Structure 1
Amino acid sequence: MTNLVSVITPVHGPSARYLAEAHVSLTEQEMPPGWDWEWIIQEDGETADVRPHVPSDPRISFEQGRQGRAGMARTMALARARGDLVKVLDADDVLTPSALHRDIKVLTEQSGIAWTTSRVLDLLPDGSTVGFEGDPPPGPIAQGAVLERWRTHDYRAQVHPATLCARRDLVTALGGWMALPSSEDTGLLMALNAVSTGWFIEECGLLYRKWPGQSTAQSSHHDDAERRARMKVIEDRAEALSKLSTWHL
């Protein structure tokens, strides 16, 4: 029997051209014995712009749906996930070699760990990469630690939600991704940390593409009133979850 990690990718027309590079990064993954990946691509909308860019691969499931931003697309994709683990991969990003292997190794060998994140490099338009300072030490991330630092550092997390890999049953129990115009992945990260222990992998796991069409580059993403509202509902949900339960593996 093959174990699966379900890689979930929301996509819209402008980002569809990068799917081929994301696919290459998946096909080049060295998987642990007995493991494989499935790639669940969900278009945010029902256009003719995305399907031509979806690679031909029996491990890929592609569907479309009503437009509702990336959070809804991710959660709709979750309905098709068959793996015990769920991995985030945005359409315009690229996994580094062995990223999935490292995620799986932690989540199958480290007792009590519900999710992982890893180091990230920005991938610039000229092909160069830029790193960041301030990564946490490798190893366990205590329940509530990400939430507390995020809350006290202008709502900026010390780990990147675009690298999340988590247990599917926990992601499902938390309702998937938040119904927000953006920051829905941050919302899931904070919810995961509110109820469970994570793990930071010091090796770079993702190249995060910087380009003019990405959603975080749009002026609406930085609207102050909207940002305050997003952060408040993310914080309130995480705090409520932290009072209700601790996830037991």
Structure 2
Amino acid sequence: MTRTPPKTHSENHSPEPLQISLITAAHPQRLDHLPDTSRSIEEVRRRLNRTGTAVEWIVVVDGPGADQGLVSQVKADRVHQLPIAQGVSAARNHGLAMSRGEWVFPVDADDMLDANGFESLATQAFDKDIVWVATNRLWLDDRSHTPRWINDIRRWRQFELEEEWTSPFPFHPNNMMVRRNAALAHFGWPGLGVNEDVGYCLLASAVGAGLSLPISTLLYRRWEGQTIRTKGYHEAKVHAFQTMEAVINARRLQAGLPPIKAPSPSPL
């Protein structure tokens, strides 16, 4: 289907500075790369300071046992340590509740912001009906494209993402900036052990319209311990898709909308 490239923002006004909250859920035993994350965020802060854009960074450590020396190196606005491990979704949701920005964007504790791309994203003004904005990520080691690359601007109407749900997803699901109030309204990241990012995107897309933009905003680290490489991941993904389908269809039934069908999960 041919897509007409939409406007990313209104043309009848100058871009107004955004207020953005960055949310990092950090495993207490996996903080080695957090100082790199911190330095990349500081670079983004420096660049955006001249535009008047406020960047808030919240780090939520998921349980006790963190190396306090490493934690002390990060220049976060708030570091919150959970008393017990609760999982990445819960940690992010605690950070979401603490945030104060108009927009929220997740940054994992082993990744880095792409300063050029994030500055480009943060200095745009979006129409009031735009609830979410998806962007690209690059591999950290060689700056090459990651899978699910966005090549063209696309505007998504409300509900369109769930109604056209594909696997692989049309963009990386952990690269979405969402209006804070919209994210809170659907309770943030669902309590799933895998593919919680897909659920987060689908829930946000049901709140309102969105955009996918060919801008790189994040540098993604490769490592062998990633969840997608673990035994049983594909089976867990199947169950996660089934759960998301049930939740989405219960909400659609209440709204008088026809049910959707989850796709067959891709291997990754």
User: Which bin holds the TM-score, normalised by the shorter protein?
Assistant: 0.7 to 0.9
| Match of residue 86, structure 2, among 68, 88, 91 | 68
8 A Cα contact 1:103 1:165, kept in partner: no
Q: 2:132 aligns with which of 100, 110, 115?
A: 115
Other structure's SS at 2:174 match: helix
Query: What is aligned with 1:189?
Result: 201
Distance change in 2, residues 1:130/1:39 (3 Å): same
Letter in 2 for 1:38: E
Q: How many residues align?
A: 234
Q: State the secondary structure of the residue aligned to 1:188.
A: helix
When Rg is computed on C-alpha atoms for both structures, the one with the higher figure is 2
User: Unaligned 5+ residue runs, structure 2?
Assistant: 1-16, 256-268
**Are the counterparts in 2 of residues 149 and 157 from structure 1 also a CA contact under 8 Å?**
no
**Cα separation, 1, equivalents of 2:23 and 2:42:** 15
Per the TM alignment, residue 244 of structure 1 is displaced from its structure 2 partner at its CA by 5.0
Distance in 2 of aligned mates of 1:103 and 1:159: 16
Amino acid at match of 1:130: S
Look up the match of 2:192: 180
Of 226, 229, 238, which residue of structure 1 is paired with 2:239? 229
CA distance, structure 2, for counterparts of residue 243 and residue 105 of structure 1: 38
Say whether the 8 Å CA contact 1:121–1:206 is kept in structure 2.
Answer: yes
2:160 to 136, 145, 148: 145
Deviations 1:158-209 (A, max 9, x none): 1112211111111000011111112112111011112311111212111221
Structure 1 counterpart of 2:37, which letter? Answer: A
Q: Does 1:157 align with 2:169?
A: yes
Which residue of the partner structure matches residue 6 of structure 2? none
Distance 1:139 1:235, change over 3 A: same
1:217 deviates by 2.9
Indicate which of 58, 66, 77 corresponds to 1:40: 58
Q: Report how far residue 134 of structure 1 moved.
A: 5.5
Higher helix share: 1
Deviates more, 1:94-103 or 1:15-24: 94-103
**Preserved CA contact (<8 Å) 1:122 1:129:** yes
Q: Pick one of 143, 151, 170 that aligns with 1:129.
A: 143
Mapped partners of 2:152, 2:159: distance in 1: 16
Question: Please, what is the CA RMSD of the aligned residues?
Answer: 2.4
Q: Which secondary structure does the structure 2 equivalent of 1:137 belong to?
A: coil
Q: Secondary structure at the match of 1:115?
A: strand
Q: Is the 8 A contact 2:28 2:64 kept in 1?
A: no
The answer on whether the counterparts of 2:18 and 2:103 sit within 8 Å (CA) in structure 1 is no
Gaps of 5+ in 1: none
Return the offset for 1:77.
1.3
User: CA 1:228–1:121 in structure 2 vs 1: closer, same or farther (change >3 Å)?
Assistant: same
Q: Is the 8 A contact 1:40 1:62 kept in 2?
A: yes
**What CA distance in whole angstroms lies between the structure 2 residues aligned with 1:129 and 1:45?**
32
Q: Quick one: distance in 2 between partners of 1:191 and 1:13?
A: 28
Q: Bigger shift: 197-206 or 13-22?
A: 13-22
Change beyond 3 A, Cα 1:57–1:75: same
Provide closer, same or farther for how the CA distance between residues 196 and 236 of structure 1 changes in structure 2, counting only shifts above 3 A.
farther
Q: Residues 194 and 241 of structure 1 are in contact (CA less than 8 Å); yes or no, is this contact kept in structure 2?
A: no
TM-score, normalising length from structure 2?
0.78
Determine which of 208, 212, 222 is the counterpart of 1:200. 212
CA contact (8 A) 2:121 2:215 kept: no
Closer, same or farther in 2 for the Cα pair 1:139/1:104, shift >3 Å?
Answer: farther
